[in-house]
Amino acid sequence: MIFTKVIEEKKKRYERLQEMLADPKVIANASEYQVLAKELASLTPIMNAYNNYLRISKDIKDLDKVLDEKTHAHDKEFLLLAEEEKHKLEKDLKETEARIEELLLEKESGGDRGIIMEIRAGTGGLEASLFAADLLRMYSKYAVKKGWKVELIDSSTTEKGGYKEVVFSISGKGVYGALKFESGTHRVQRVPETEASGRIHTSAATVAVLPEAEEVDIDIRPEDLKVDVFRSGGAGGQGVNRTDSAVRLTYLPTGLVVTCQDERSQLKNKAKALRVLRARLYDSRRAEQDRKISQERRAQVGSGDRSEKIRTYNFPDRRITDHRIGFTAHNMEDVLEGELDELINALKSEEKQLRIKAATV
């Protein structure tokens, strides 16, 4: 198995967690117990698959011993059945090994977390804001196809229905594992509606994908938080501008500022803003860890930096190109309608190969 060393380390940690969770001192400390129980739960599927792998390996060895015994050499029917059983077990072993690798990669990347996604219009003025709206629609449609939940957190719109900036969350099984590759600069090449001469323009929007952080991941002390409330802006509707419901949070240790004004309720806006703040702090911490682990960085598809040009959507040729892996397809309309699986699977496959290569170095 490629990840033997990694899986053995996980096994030791799993056994240690079981011991710790049985300790009366840990049981008495609710917050510590919650953190450790969550870690144990995340390792359980990996350990179950690994134990299954060991069981199948033992069954194959036992069968090999039987096949080596000369006393059965005259029993051709028995040998045939034994060989068929061994073939089946070897197939099961490969499938279990692949499942373990998948679980390990998902665990290391935090693939089962929800995300906070931020889309901002870049170069291109009004056309860039309209493209940002296209990207929001694309991800929203993809989420619906996957049965995920999309929730708007904050937005700044333009008069033509575009977005200067939009922040939203997507929650569900496997969200971050699928959409983590979307961070970076997305370019669009098309003729804007306002272009009378029919000239093709290039515009851009940046996407940031932040894994959602829970309270046990990022502890924000009340004294480190400055909370301001103000009246919601924008076109609004019934009562949206009549109360001080918008919330601005400032994280004093770093000066990081998050605003939310999508809800009419001040409490709901504060809760959403806290989610974004935790996600940004968590993402910053992960980025710092990645910088310290050069091998881990080599095993990633792209840097995740918003300044990195990752994809081009060419309308005249109906072409979509992901520059990181050299992927090109001519079904751009389908992709913009949320048909992202082919592209995401190609990115996942490339990352898996890079991680396997890094693990064997």
Contact predicate 165/233, CB 8 Å: no
SS3 (DSSP) at 151:
strand
CA distances from 18 to 6, 13, 40, 195, 217 (A): 19, 9, 7, 65, 20
Task: Write down the number of H helices and E strands in the chain.
Answer: 10, 11
Q: How many structural domains does the chain have?
A: 3
Q: Are residues 39 and 23 in the same domain?
A: yes
Q: Output the pLDDT for position 295.
A: 46
Instruction: Report the C-alpha gap between 345 and 348 in whole angstroms.
Output: 5
Q: Are residues 188 and 272 in the same domain?
A: no
Q: What token pair was written down for 174?
A: 């496997």
Q: Output the pLDDT for position 233.
A: 64
DSSP state of 257: E
Instruction: Report the C-alpha gap between 251 and 254 in whole angstroms.
Output: 6
Q: What token pair was written down for 221?
A: 């002390």
Q: Which residue has the tokens 């400032």?
A: 250
The answer to whether residue 297 is domain-embedded is no
Length of the chain: 361
Q: At what angle do helices 30-68 and 76-109 cross, to 10 degrees?
A: 160
SS3 (DSSP) at 163:
strand
In this structure, what are the phi and psi dihedrals at residue 253, rounded to the nearest 5 degrees?
A: -60, -30
CATH of the domain at 47: 1.20.58
pLDDT single digits (tens) 257-266: 998 887 788 8
Q: Are residues 320 and 211 in the same domain?
A: yes
Instruction: Report the C-alpha gap between 50 and 4 in whole angstroms.
Output: 10
Q: Domain of 9?
A: 4-109
Q: Are residues 61 and 209 in the same domain?
A: no
* Pair type for strands 184-190 and 201-211: antiparallel
Residue at a domain's end among 109, 134, 151: 109
Contact predicate 184/306, CB 8 Å: yes
Q: Output the pLDDT for position 117.
A: 94
The CA angle 7-9-13, to the nearest 5 degrees, is 115
Instruction: Report the C-alpha gap between 210 and 178 in whole angstroms.
Output: 12
The answer to whether residue 12 is domain-embedded is yes
105 Cβ partners below 8 Å, 6+ apart?
111, 351, 352, 355
CATH of the domain at 128: 3.30.70.1660
Q: Are residues 82 and 134 in the same domain?
A: no
CA distances from 254 to 215, 229, 250 (A): 18, 20, 9
Q: Output the pLDDT for position 168.
A: 95
Q: Are residues 158 and 203 in the same domain?
A: yes
Residue at a domain's end among 236, 257, 290: 290
| pLDDT under 70: residue ranges of the chain | 1-3, 70-74, 105-112, 194, 196, 214-217, 232-243, 289-307, 356, 358-361
CA distances from 348 to 104, 145, 178, 345 (A): 14, 19, 8, 5
Q: Are residues 55 and 184 in the same domain?
A: no
Q: Are residues 87 and 145 in the same domain?
A: no
Q: Output the pLDDT for position 305.
A: 57
DSSP state of 133: H
The answer to whether residue 298 is domain-embedded is no
- Least Cα distance to 260 among 121, 116, 361 occurs for 116
CATH of the domain at 238: 3.30.160.20
Q: Output the pLDDT for position 64.
A: 87
pTM for the structure as a whole: 0.68
Count of alpha carbons within 13 Å of 181, Cβ hemisphere only? 24
The answer to whether residue 320 is domain-embedded is yes
Q: Are residues 206 and 351 in the same domain?
A: yes
Residue at a domain's end among 290, 321, 344: 290
Instruction: Report the C-alpha gap between 340 and 319 in whole angstroms.
Output: 14
355 Cβ partners below 8 Å, 6+ apart?
105, 108, 299
Q: Are residues 204 and 339 in the same domain?
A: yes
Q: Are residues 200 and 166 in the same domain?
A: yes
The answer to whether residue 194 is domain-embedded is yes
The answer to whether residue 9 is domain-embedded is yes
The answer to whether residue 296 is domain-embedded is no
Q: What token pair was written down for 35?
A: 């953190």
DSSP state of 169: E
The answer to whether residue 302 is domain-embedded is no
Q: Are residues 105 and 8 in the same domain?
A: yes
